[in-house]
Amino acid sequence: MPLTRLRPIEHLSQVDKIELRLQEYLRNEEFNPGDPLPKEMEIAKALGVSRTAVREAISRFKMLGIIESRRNRGMVIKRPDVLRNIQRVMDPRLLDGDTMKDIFEMRLVVELGLAHILFRRKTPEFIEKLEGIARTEDVTTDRIDLLKLDVDFHSALYQMSGNETIIRFQRMLMPIFDFVDSVILQKPRINQPGKIATHWDLIEELKQGTPTGFMHKMESHLWYFFEKI
């Protein structure tokens, strides 16, 4: 009898419970950014707990960026920065292999799906930037430098999407990408069916090709990673 899943009894501390109560309070009361919150002591009284515990719970929301407080002004609801909080957690050391695999796969999904947006937002300036990176690659031999240039190239693509959230998504997951890259590149290279699309191929397609064509080239370009996962 394994008993692996016996009793995941949640031992919620007082502060945890307060956090939950505040969470549901914030949702139910339909707070909008700028709205004031009750005073710490009032909340403590209402919940029947000490101000210390309330402050510990509220401190958590301050980290998320949902609550802001100022001396003598009280506390107000703030617009949180969605991605800021993931970033704190994005440490390859703290994530398990499966999750990192999933995240890396998601990167591939996003880069493929990006094609249409890119064709919509491409400009001569961006193309020029990509070409600059590709030209530098042509005259670079150092392995580390090439890896860095590869990252630059893909980063530039994200930039071109013009979508701030996607850009930050990529920047945020960079540590994971780096980690997986370094692991994958240590493995022996395997045979590929047909030619792998290069950065120059991608640029060419972007300049006078189609979204679909670009996607195919990108698929070919990333094929190596697909197989490894």
Partner DNA sequence: TTTGCGATATATGTCGTACATATGTCCTAT
Partner DNA sequence: ATAGGACATATGTACGACATATATCGCAAA
Per CB under 8 A, residues contacting a second copy are: 15, 19, 23, 27, 30-33, 52, 55-57, 59-60, 62-66, 77, 79-80, 82-83, 85-86, 88-91, 93-96, 98-99, 102-103, 105-106, 108-117, 161, 163-166, 169, 212, 215-216, 219, 226
Interacting partner of 41 out of a second copy, DNA, none (Cβ under 5 to 8 A depending on kind): DNA
Interacting partner of 210 out of a second copy, DNA, none (Cβ under 5 to 8 A depending on kind): none
Q: How far apart are CA 55 and CA 16, in angstroms?
A: 12
CB of 110 to DNA, least distance (A): 38
CB of 7 to a second copy, least distance (A): 14
Convert residues 15-54 into a mask of x (bound to DNA by CB under 7 A) and - (unbound).
x---------------------x-xxx-------xxxxx-
> Length of the chain in residues, anyone?
229
Decide if 174 contacts 107 (C-beta within 8 A): no
Q: How far apart are CA 150 and CA 134, in angstroms?
A: 9
DSSP letter string over 105-152?
Answer: HHHHHHHHHTHHHHHHH--HHHHHHHHHHHHHHHT---HHHHHHHHHH
Phi, psi of 139 (to 5 degrees): -110, 15
Binds DNA by CB under 7 A, chosen from 5, 70, 93, 187:
70
Q: How far apart are CA 217 and CA 212, in angstroms?
A: 9
CB of 139 to a second copy, least distance (A): 32
CB of 140 to a second copy, least distance (A): 29
Interacting partner of 74 out of DNA, a second copy, none (Cβ under 5 to 8 A depending on kind): DNA
* Token pair 């960026």 in the structure block, residue: 65
Enumerate residues 155-174 that contact DNA by CB under 7 A.
none
Written as six digits, the tokens of 109 are 């999904």
CB of 42 to DNA, least distance (A): 8
Task: Locate all alpha helices (DSSP H) within 29-96, ordered by sequence.
Answer: 40-47, 51-64, 84-89
